[in-house]
Amino acid sequence: MSFLGVEASLTGRRWVGPGVEVERAAELILQRSALPMAVCQVLARRGVPAEEAEAFLAPALRDLLPDPRSLKDMEQAATRFLSALRNRENIAVFADYDVDGGSSAALLLIWLRQMGHGATLYVPDRIDEGYGPNEEAMAALAADHDLIICVDCGTLSHGPISAAKGAEVIVLDHHLGGETLPDALAVVNPNRQDEDGACAHLCAAAVVFLMLVEAGRQLREVQIKGPDLMAMLDLVGLATVADVAPLTGVNRAFVRQGLRVMARRERPGLAALADVARMDTAPTAYHLGFLLGPRINAGGRIGQADLGARLLASDDPHETAALAERLDTLNTERREVEASVRAAALDQAEDRGFDAPLVWASGPGWHPGVVGIVASRLKEASNRPSIVIGIEDGIGKGSGRSVSGIDLGAPIQRLAAEGLLIKGGGHKMAAGLTVAEDKLDAAMERLGELLAKQGAHLAGPADLSVTGLMMPEAATVELTEMIEQAGPFGSAAPAPRFVFAEMKIFFAKRVGESHLKISFGDGLGTKMDAIAFGAFDGPLGPALENHGGARFHLAGRLDINTWRGRQSVQLRLEDAARA
């Protein structure tokens, strides 16, 4: 049954409210705690038991952090890492070119620098070298280094790791492992096939952090004090959000604590990046995912692959200011490239239909640096796993994004094993692939079949999930801050969305090219402001701008807006329906 009877909103979506079980759980939390009903609804939706509700709002990292030694090869990896430090060996860090890889590399580089030791950073070029270690680069690094640490990559790199003659290799990764592991000294990966999956939700930076925790433990045994790891949680939190890791368990604590560290602005690279991104409020998970993350990624997408890692690792304010400006410029260029690919991909995918278990598009010359972002846009538009592929010289290089509950990485790895892909891998929510153009249609058909077995075709693409009802006078700064304590929100923990029913619009104005700002209320008391980003890219903006005095149900997420030192609550408006 639809929420408030909304079967087709202004954007064509059906609104779906909480089920009976969630409503009962919220009532139980309300009875057993002093929490407001809206917070109880959010906690119930997250599956928090009533007796754990208040403790959930203040997660302690020490209570949630897994024992690093519960991961296979961890103790051996940390021991070898410390041996290289003690013996002043040459260390190279081979990192992926995304935020997770850059953050992972920065953690190691900063830790080593604070212990008085340097390391070589190597990030492969996305177009010339592709994802992960390659034989030529690994052989070259091995010629000059005693230890190579592969972060956010390497689990499937049998050939390249074998090519690292004369050096030992440690892999710190989280991508799905194959049936066999490469011939490395240690492969620490919660998604190895022989792991129990208890830590499968960790990103690579979290795996690196756990190795540094184990290294710190081993140092303490010999009365040596290591660097302050808590001060490095800004990098772990950033990577966790940017890599779309589920914000549950210890990941939630990583991000919560990481945001507190980031707010102190002690890391020159992140402070410089926040400035160029014009962040004028305390950082939130939204800022990590939509302001900082894309800029760090921009170097790997269309510029110099190592810019993001260098920015995060640097302690020189002059260098970080220059790197941040460069990344901001590249991000602007990336948006322009993305816009043209996105328009073509959406048209193509819509022609195929958004009701299939897999939504995909491909095109000649589509820049490989933006196909992942465009895949995210297709996923958002269709509520389906989505793949976007750029084709060059008969070879397609693509990236995919999945929806909650559907594993994309495993089926792509299976396609590679079946010979339909040249190579492919990833994790549940994101994956990459390389495919011969003449096998493209067959590969996508087969992938669709595998995703259908997981139920990828069953979710309604037009469903908008809402948490509950709220009145404007209830939407206080204090309540919004309390709801934020139930976060951070993101992958596997969607932000709560409240509906303000039968609202009157007092003011509506177009802002910028496509945004809408409104003021609304019930006509009896409190008024609220709302901002609808991209509203004029669809029917929402025109309908509300020309409201004609009609009343609307308004659905969105609560935000705290800071203006000239004063805080107020505004609605980040996502949808509306005529009352």
What pLDDT, in 10s, does the model give residues 297-343?
999 888 899 999 999 999 999 999 999 999 999 999 999 999 999 99
Position 462 pLDDT exceeds 70:
no
Transcribe 262-300 into DSSP letters: HHTT-SHHHHHHHHHTT--S---HHHIIIIIHHHHHHHH
Picking from 278, 284, 372, the residue whose alpha carbon sits closest to that of residue 328 is 278
Q: Are 419 and 398 in contact (CB under 8 A)?
A: no
Residue 349 CA from chain centroid, whole number = 23
Geometric angle at alpha carbon 154, from 153 and 160, rounded to 5°: 130
Mean pLDDT of the chain: 95
Q: What are the tokens at 313? A: 């690792």
User: What is the C-alpha separation between 272 and 312, in angstroms, rounded?
Assistant: 10
User: What is the C-alpha separation between 232 and 241, in angstroms, rounded?
Assistant: 15
Q: Are 550 and 502 in contact (CB under 8 A)?
A: no
Please compute, for residue 140, the number of CA atoms within 13 A of its CA located in the half-sphere on the CB side. 11
**Better-scored residue on pLDDT, 21 or 282:** 21
Q: What are the tokens at 44? A: 């119930």
User: What is the C-alpha separation between 381 and 573, in angstroms, rounded?
Assistant: 17
Over residues 155-179, mean pLDDT: 96
Over residues 105-119, mean pLDDT: 98
Transcribe 328-352 into DSSP letters: HHHHHHHHHHHHHHHHHHHHHHHHH
Q: Are 416 and 443 in contact (CB under 8 A)?
A: no
- For the domain 3-17+466-578, what is the CATH code? 2.40.50.460
**pLDDT recorded at residue 198:** 96
Position 540 pLDDT exceeds 70:
yes
Dihedral pair phi/psi, residue 319, rounded to 5°: -65, -45
Position 35 pLDDT exceeds 90:
yes
Q: Model confidence over 249-270: pLDDT tens digits?
A: 999 999 999 999 999 999 999 9
User: What is the C-alpha separation between 152 and 206, in angstroms, rounded?
Assistant: 10
Over residues 505-530, mean pLDDT: 94
Strand order in the sheet with 120-122: 120-122, 91-95, 147-151, 168-172, 186-188
Residue 39 CA from chain centroid, whole number = 24
Position 460 pLDDT exceeds 70:
no
* Dihedral sign for Cα atoms in the order 35, 571, 489, 562: negative
User: What is the C-alpha separation between 569 and 479, in angstroms, rounded?
Assistant: 10
CATH number of 68-329, picked from 1.10.286.10, 3.40.50.300, 3.90.1640.30, 3.40.50.1470 = 3.90.1640.30
Q: How confident is the model at residue 565 (pLDDT cuts 50, 70, 90)?
A: confident
Q: Model confidence over 170-226: pLDDT tens digits?
A: 999 999 999 999 999 999 999 999 999 999 999 999 999 999 999 999 999 999 999
**pLDDT recorded at residue 563:** 78
Q: Are 274 and 228 in contact (CB under 8 A)?
A: no
User: What is the C-alpha separation between 395 and 451, in angstroms, rounded?
Assistant: 23
Picking from 207, 179, 225, 173, the residue whose alpha carbon sits closest to that of residue 68 is 207
Beta bridge partners of 426: 431
Over residues 558-573, mean pLDDT: 89
State the DSSP H helix or E strand holding residue 240, giving kind and residue range, or none if neither.
helix 233-242
Q: Are 482 and 36 in contact (CB under 8 A)?
A: yes
Picking from 261, 271, 199, the residue whose alpha carbon sits closest to that of residue 230 is 261
Q: Are 135 and 163 in contact (CB under 8 A)?
A: yes
Q: What are the tokens at 217? A: 């433990």
**pLDDT recorded at residue 332:** 94
Position 494 pLDDT exceeds 90:
no
* CATH 3.10.310.30 location in the chain: 353-453
Q: Residue 481: count other Cβ atoms within 10 Å of its Cβ.
A: 13
* Conformational region of residue 62, where left means phi above 0, alpha means psi within -120 to 50, and beta covers everything else: alpha
Dihedral pair phi/psi, residue 33, rounded to 5°: -140, 175
Prediction pTM value: 0.88
**Number of H-type helices and E-type strands within the chain:** 21, 18
Picking from 131, 67, 66, 142, the residue whose alpha carbon sits closest to that of residue 96 is 131
**Strands (DSSP E) found in 285-422:** 359-364, 386-392, 395-401
Classify 425 as helix, strand or coil: strand
Cα radius of gyration rounded to whole Å, the chain: 24
* CATH 3.90.1640.30 location in the chain: 68-329
Q: Say if strands 468-469 and 430-436 run parallel, antiparallel, or are unpaired.
A: unpaired
**pLDDT > 70: percent of the chain:** 99
Q: What are the tokens at 88? A: 């002043």
Over residues 461-488, mean pLDDT: 92
Domain 353-453 has what CATH class?
Answer: alpha beta
**pLDDT recorded at residue 461:** 63
* CATH 2.40.50.460 location in the chain: 3-17+466-578
State the DSSP H helix or E strand holding residue 36, giving kind and residue range, or none if neither.
none
Dihedral pair phi/psi, residue 546, rounded to 5°: -105, 55
User: What is the C-alpha separation between 212 and 111, in angstroms, rounded?
Assistant: 8
Position 491 pLDDT exceeds 90:
no
Position 511 pLDDT exceeds 70:
yes
